[in-house]
Amino acid sequence: MNPTLKKPRESVDLSELTQSTFPDEVLEKVLSLVQSHKDRNSASLVCKDWYNAERWTRTKLFIGNCYSVSPEIVARRFPKIKSVTLKGKPRFSDFNLVPENWGADIQAWLDVFAKVYPFLEELRLKRMAVSDESLEFLAKSFHGFKVLSLLSCDGFSTDGISSIAAHCKSLTELDIQENGMDDISGSWLSCFPDDFASLEVLNFASLNSEISIDALERLVSRCKSLRVLKVNKNVTLSQLQRLLVRAPQLIELGTGCFLPDLTSRQYAELESAFSNCKNLHTISGLWEATYRYLPVLYAACASLTFLNLSYATIRSGEFLKLLAHCPSLRRLWVFDTVKDEGLEAVGTSCPLLEELRVFPADPFEEDIVHGVTESGFVAVSAGCPKLQYVLYFCRQMTNAAVATIVRNCPDFTHFRLCIMNPGQPDYMTNEPMDEAFGAVVKTCKKLQRLSVSGLLTDLTFEYIGRYAKNLETLSVAFAGRSDWGMQCVLEGCSKLRKLEIRDCPFGNAALLSGLEKYESMRCLWMSACSVTMNGCRLLAQERPRLNVEVIKDENSDDSADKLYVYRSVAGPRRDAPPFVVTL
């Protein structure tokens, strides 16, 4: 109470701070409520007591780069893991820039997990190599296994999925998306036991083989807690109707093929089935959807928040009508076949929109003028001020348009603009697109992720380094003029975690300017740039805690064709294939 008795801040007794004033049980109880792994990582750094309490209470593991740590290290630190998320290959492997058999095999992890976490319940994998044997091993080793999610993985087939279906008696989620897998047959669906009824999420939209519709109907009838069902394009509309009447409680639906195939009575039945789905928030699938049958959806669209039309090349006419029924939309994925007209309708019909992704229907068609332009994007920004996430593929853009867009929507956290012609300037002024991205980073203070394109000089990167203080992920292709560009980014973007670069004139000087930076990042990818083996060797020498890996093309000169640098506490990879050279 007496101010003179108060100790000035500098003379606080530091020894008091190192002792935790909470008993362990209380600390553990409090920490067990902390869910975010980032918060947990921070908490574990406070002091030894907190580190221990945190490691005993962590149940969910997130590993953004599977080679940054080893399964043994993980097992030693965290004894009570129930859920694991693992990401493997560099993102550019999605675009065929990483050769096959690069690594990221899940088996080494499963071997350790089977011993240390026999009660593991969830496994979410992205860009990992997964074999059928691994899936079978998984199915048989973890008896309470509940959740399997495979996104962009490769190396397995539907046989592996059969093992999961047959052996995981407590399975609640099976989510198979966009994998490089062998689709041998749809018989996996029939491998679920007859009394199996715990499924809540089933997504097999990206599988091509035919499943038994009877088996699926029976499964859907039994699984009363089913909330997500995404079928593949072999499921017809009449079959869909039978599924919907058995699962009106669905929250997310991926339809099958929407090709005209119904009598008018069947159409009415389908319409009625949709109107009975009062909880639908997400609709996707819609292969071959046209004006004919899209109206069956209307009744279910009132509470729709996510509409994924990225499998349906629908045109603006039917799109406009559909949108008019979706006033609550927050996320929209669509093909550029809807054109600027369609995007104008988005601007007028969807004021709550937060995320827009426009994919190119014909990414390799030259000469034909189609798709969306800058005016579509501007129109959306004018009507949807809450936009935070955009992925936009187009064939023309101007600096002025982008400046307008970010003026309308200053809250962007993710801005991914892909002008499909590499190195294309502002088509009206013929100038580089520097000012466009300058406007983005100056205006959008919360920007976390940026993908740039078009004709760009080093000025773009000066802007990024100077203004993009919250930037975590940057993707660059066919841009920049000199090392200076990359240096600006490495120096200025204090929160940068992932930097992926292809076909840019950045060389050793740029690479080495990031010496202080790379250990605070998850990874750096540079391909078809001007970096040499010598430069990479120097980096590896100066920073032994980084793994510096090079994939060389056939010729034997000094260029480091594909460079992948990442921090690791596990040392160099022991499973690197011969084409990956660790320096």
Partner 1 sequence: MERRRAIYEKDLNLEATELRLGLPGLDESEKQSSTSNSAKNSKKRPLSEMDDNNSSCVTENEQQEYAPPAPKSGFNKIFFFNNFRAQVVGWPPVRSYRKNIVQAKKPESDTSLGMYLKVSMDGAPYLRKIDLKIYKSYPELLKALQNMFKCTIGVYSEREGYNGSDYAPTYEDKDGDWMLVGDVPWEMFINSCRRLRIMKGSEAKGLACL
Site for partner 1, residues 495 to 554, rule: CB under 8 A: 502-505, 507-508, 528-530, 532, 534, 553-554
Scanning 26-34, 71-79, 293-301, 420-428 for contacts with partner 1 by CB under 8 A, the matching segment is 420-428
Taking the complex as a whole, how short is the minimal distance between the CB of residue 181 and partner 1, in angstroms? 7
Instruction: Give the C-alpha separation, 330 to 309, whole Å.
Output: 14
Scanning 26-34, 54-62, 236-244, 423-431 for contacts with partner 1 by CB under 8 A, the matching segment is 423-431
Taking the complex as a whole, how short is the minimal distance between the CB of residue 268 and partner 1, in angstroms? 10
Nearest Cα to Cα of residue 567 among 549, 581, 550, 580: 549
Taking the complex as a whole, how short is the minimal distance between the CB of residue 348 and partner 1, in angstroms? 27
- Using left for φ > 0, alpha for ψ between -120 and 50, and beta otherwise, residue 314 falls in beta
**Contact set for partner 1, span 331-390 (CB under 8 A):** 335, 359-364, 366-367
Specify the residue, 163 or 308, whose C-beta has the smaller distance to partner 1. Answer: 308
Specify the residue, 208 or 212, whose C-beta has the smaller distance to partner 1. Answer: 208
Specify the residue, 25 or 554, whose C-beta has the smaller distance to partner 1. Answer: 554
3-state secondary structure of 402: helix
Structure letter (DSSP) for residue 91? G
Q: How many residues sit close enough to partner 1 to count as binding (CB under 8 A)?
A: 75
Segment holding 215, helix H or strand E: helix 213-222
Member of 113, 274, 306, 478 binding partner 1 (CB under 8 A): 478
Specify the residue, 81 or 358, whose C-beta has the smaller distance to partner 1. Answer: 358
Scanning 45-53, 113-121, 481-489, 515-523 for contacts with partner 1 by CB under 8 A, the matching segment is 481-489
**Contact set for partner 1, span 97-116 (CB under 8 A):** 97-100
Scanning 21-29, 44-52, 250-258, 479-487 for contacts with partner 1 by CB under 8 A, the matching segment is 479-487
Specify the residue, 384 or 512, whose C-beta has the smaller distance to partner 1. Answer: 512
Scanning 23-31, 87-95, 107-115, 238-246 for contacts with partner 1 by CB under 8 A, the matching segment is 87-95
Specify the residue, 61 or 129, whose C-beta has the smaller distance to partner 1. Answer: 129
Segment holding 414, helix H or strand E: strand 414-419
Show the tokens assigned to 478. Answer: 């066919």
Q: Which residue has the tokens 């009877």?
A: 214
Taking the complex as a whole, how short is the minimal distance between the CB of residue 31 and partner 1, in angstroms? 38
Instruction: Give the C-alpha separation, 179 to 167, whole Å.
Output: 22
Specify the residue, 247 or 297, whose C-beta has the smaller distance to partner 1. Answer: 297
Instruction: Give the C-alpha separation, 450 to 467, whole Å.
Output: 12
**Contact set for partner 1, span 220-279 (CB under 8 A):** 260-267
**Contact set for partner 1, span 170-199 (CB under 8 A):** 178-182
Q: How far is CA 222 from the centre of its chain?
A: 32
Task: Judge contact between 360 and 393, C-beta under 8 A.
Answer: yes
Instruction: Give the C-alpha separation, 169 to 146, whole Å.
Output: 8
Specify the residue, 383 or 535, whose C-beta has the smaller distance to partner 1. Answer: 535
Taking the complex as a whole, how short is the minimal distance between the CB of residue 487 and partner 1, in angstroms? 13
**Contact set for partner 1, span 282-341 (CB under 8 A):** 287-288, 310-311, 313, 335
Member of 423, 442, 466, 570 binding partner 1 (CB under 8 A): 423
Q: What angle do CA 350, 309, 306 make, to 5 degrees?
A: 50
Specify the residue, 181 or 474, whose C-beta has the smaller distance to partner 1. Answer: 181
Alpha-carbon torsion 388, 381, 466, 540, what sign?
positive
Alpha-carbon torsion 538, 90, 453, 422, what sign?
positive
Q: Which residue has the tokens 């095999």?
A: 105
Show the tokens assigned to 286. Answer: 């819609």
The C-alpha R_g of the chain, in whole angstroms, comes to 26
Specify the residue, 70 or 241, whose C-beta has the smaller distance to partner 1. Answer: 241
Member of 186, 371, 425, 465 binding partner 1 (CB under 8 A): 425
Instruction: Give the C-alpha separation, 154 to 127, whole Å.
Output: 7
How many other CB atoms sit within 10 Å of the CB of residue 173?
A: 18
Specify the residue, 121 or 434, whose C-beta has the smaller distance to partner 1. Answer: 434
Task: Judge contact between 122 and 82, C-beta under 8 A.
Answer: yes
Non-local CB neighbours of 270 within 8 Å, separated by 6+ positions:
237, 238, 240, 241, 244, 262, 293, 296
Scanning 77-85, 295-303, 464-472, 480-488 for contacts with partner 1 by CB under 8 A, the matching segment is 480-488
Instruction: Give the C-alpha separation, 57 to 30, whole Å.
Output: 10
Task: Judge contact between 450 and 441, C-beta under 8 A.
Answer: yes
Specify the residue, 168 or 231, whose C-beta has the smaller distance to partner 1. Answer: 231
**Distances, alpha carbon 25 to alpha carbons 15, 21, 39, 410, in Å:** 22, 12, 19, 45
**Contact set for partner 1, span 23-82 (CB under 8 A):** none
* Length of the chain measured in residues: 583
**Contact set for partner 1, span 143-172 (CB under 8 A):** 152, 154
The dihedrals phi and psi of 510, each to the nearest 5 degrees, come to -65, -45
Member of 9, 16, 95, 569 binding partner 1 (CB under 8 A): 95
Specify the residue, 285 or 347, whose C-beta has the smaller distance to partner 1. Answer: 285
**Contact set for partner 1, span 447-476 (CB under 8 A):** 455-457
Taking the complex as a whole, how short is the minimal distance between the CB of residue 463 and partner 1, in angstroms? 17
Taking the complex as a whole, how short is the minimal distance between the CB of residue 316 and partner 1, in angstroms? 14
